[in-house]
Homo-oligomer: A and B are copies of this chain.
Amino acid sequence: MTFRAHRALREAEVVVGYHTYLQLLGDLLAGKEVIGSGMTREQERCRSAVDLALAGKRVAVVSSGDPGVYGMAGVVLEIVHHLGVAEELDLEVIPGVTAATAAAASLGAPLMHDFATISLSDLLTPWEVIRRRVELAAQADYVLAIYNPKSKKRVRQVLEVQELVLRYRVPDTPVGLVRNASRQGEEVTFSTLARFTELPIDMFSLVIVGNSGTRVLGQHLVTPRGYVW
């Protein structure tokens, strides 16, 4: 967590967020009004936050990682502009450490070169759009940082991604899996493009697929930028 996010939480009167993320805040929530809800209730949650802010409260909406990367920042801004109340509020988006770079740090330095960040959740995006993005990114030799790779119900997508990327990269392309990046109980696993789907993957996992230059060096995954040694 950054100092800036910590200060905003300390100063907030109300904290709004997904149950699981609120739990991570522990003592920071003491003495505050807390509004938690489950997954898929994002719009409702952010609407409550905006209503409370309009009523004069100091409100913090929390996401994990960076709120601007598959988080709540966009949802809050969409509501505020939809309601036409942006001018009445003192809005601030506070950046954070997104799962891709948190996971990368635990693996070594796999994102040292150009990378594409992609979510496999097809709840709000047609699967054909996601497939096409994966394929073109694989073709362009981007390192891939894959969010929401697999859920209990959504298991097929990660297999299709594997198959698509294998059209452009060798089977032993290094892959890193990080579960609960930067949180307690973090799990880091090294694998390959041909085999990573055999490992346990869920919604707390971030998958990094190396590009043609990514190497396993000891216990580290590194994508060199091209320095000569």
Do B74 and A223 have beta carbons less than 8 Å apart? yes
Secondary structure call for the A interface = mixed
Mark out the residues of chain A between 96 and 112 whose CB falls within 8 Å of any chain B CB in the assembled complex.
96-98, 101-102, 104-106, 108-112
**List of B residues within 8 angstroms of A78 by Cβ:** 217, 222, 224, 227, 229
Do B86 and A95 have beta carbons less than 8 Å apart? no
Alpha-carbon distance between A118 and B143 when the two chains are bound, in angstroms? 11
Do A116 and B142 have beta carbons less than 8 Å apart? yes
Mark out the residues of chain A between 18 and 33 whose CB falls within 8 Å of any chain B CB in the assembled complex.
none
Question: Nearest residue in B to A87 (C-beta to C-beta)?
Answer: B218
Mark out the residues of chain A between 115 and 143 whose CB falls within 8 Å of any chain B CB in the assembled complex.
115-119, 124-125, 129-130, 132-133, 135-137, 139-142
A151 in the interface (beta carbon within 8 A) = no
Question: Nearest residue in B to A121 (C-beta to C-beta)?
Answer: B225
Mark out the residues of chain A between 41 and 87 whose CB falls within 8 Å of any chain B CB in the assembled complex.
42-43, 66-71, 73-75, 77-79, 81-82, 86-87
A226 in the interface (beta carbon within 8 A) = yes
Given contacts A101-B98, A116-B114, are A218 and B81 in contact (CB under 8 A)? Answer: yes
Given contacts A2-B1, A114-B116, A114-B119, are A225 and B70 in contact (CB under 8 A)? Answer: yes
Instruction: Point out residues on A near B: beta carbons under 8 Å.
Output: 1-3, 6, 42-43, 66-71, 73-75, 77-79, 81-82, 86-87, 93-98, 101-102, 104-106, 108-119, 124-125, 129-130, 132-133, 135-137, 139-142, 182, 217-220, 222-227, 229
Additional A-B contact list (20), CB under 8 Å, known A135-B140, A137-B142 = A1-B3, A2-B2, A2-B3, A67-B105, A69-B104, A71-B112, A73-B109, A74-B109, A74-B112, A74-B223, A75-B227, A77-B109, A77-B217, A94-B105, A95-B101, A95-B102, A114-B119, A114-B133, A124-B227, A125-B226
